[in-house]
Amino acid sequence: MADFDLCIVGSGAGAGPVALTCAAAGYSVVVLEKGPWFTAADFTKDELACCQRSVYTPRLADEQHVIEEEDRAGGWQATPTAESGWNFWNGNCVGGSSNFMSGFFYRLKPVDLRLRSTFGPIAGAEVVDWPIAYAELEPYYAKVEEIVGISGRVVDHPFAEPRSTADFPYPPTAEHPIAARFDTVAASLGLHPLPTPRAVLPHAALGRDGCAYSGYCGSYGCATGAKGSARAALLDKAIATGRCTIRAHAKVTHLESDATGQVTGAAYVDRAGVRQQVTARLYVVACQAIETSRLLLLSRGPRHPNGLANNHGQVGRNLLFSAGGSGGGDLVYAGLSPAAAADLREVGPFVNRGLQDWYEVDAPSLGGRVKGGTIDFLFEHPNAIVRANHLKWSDDGRLLWGSALKRRLKAAFTESRRFRFEVFCDWLPHPDCHVRLDPMVRDRWGSPVARVRVGHHPHDVAIGRLLAERAEGILRALGAKQVASSTTGAPPANLQAGGCRFGLDPATSVLDPDCRAHDVDNLYVTDGSFMPTGGSVPYTWTIYANALRVADRIVARLGGDRASPRTEESAKTRA
Determine the pLDDT at residue 568.
43
Closest among 12, 198, 200 to 91, alpha carbons compared: 12
* Side-chain half-sphere CA neighbours of 565 within 13 A: 0
Q: Kindly give, in sequence order, each residue whose CB lies less than 8 Å from that of residue 231, ignoring residues fewer than 6 positions away.
A: 11, 16, 38, 94, 95, 98, 99
Nearest to 95 by CA among 147, 19, 22, 207: 19
Q: Give the span between the Cα atoms of 486 and 363, in whole angstroms.
A: 20
Containing 499, the helix (H) or strand (E) segment is strand 497-499
| Cα 79 from chain centre | 24
The closest alpha carbon to 530, from 519, 548, 543, 549, belongs to 543
The CA distance from 114 to 389, in Å, is 43
1-100+126-144+206-322+432-456+493-575 domain in CATH 3.50.50.60?
A: yes
pLDDT at 279 over 80: yes
570 residue type, one letter:
S
pLDDT digits (tens, 9 = 90+) for 350-368: 999 999 999 999 999 888 9
Task: Kindly indicate the confidence band of residue 49, based on its pLDDT and cuts at 50, 70 and 90.
Answer: confident
Residue 7's closest CA among 26, 25, 27? 27
- What does DSSP assign to residue 447? P
pLDDT value of position 564: 59
- Which residues of the chain does CATH 3.50.50.60 include? 1-100+126-144+206-322+432-456+493-575
Give me the mean pLDDT over the 165-190 stretch.
97
571 has a pLDDT exceeding 90: no
Q: pLDDT (tens digit, 9 = 90+) per residue, 299-318?
A: 999 999 999 999 999 999 99
Separation in Å, CA 200 to CA 26, 227, 305, 515? 29, 4, 44, 28
Q: Cβ atoms within 10 A of the Cβ of 124, count?
A: 14
> Residue 19: is its pLDDT beyond 90?
yes
Distance separating alpha carbons of residues 375 and 355, to the nearest angstrom: 5
Spatial distance between the Cα atoms of 504 and 218, rounded to a whole number of angstroms: 37
Q: What radius of gyration, in Å, describes the C-alpha atoms of the chain?
A: 23
CA 111, CA 464: separation in Å to the nearest integer? Answer: 18
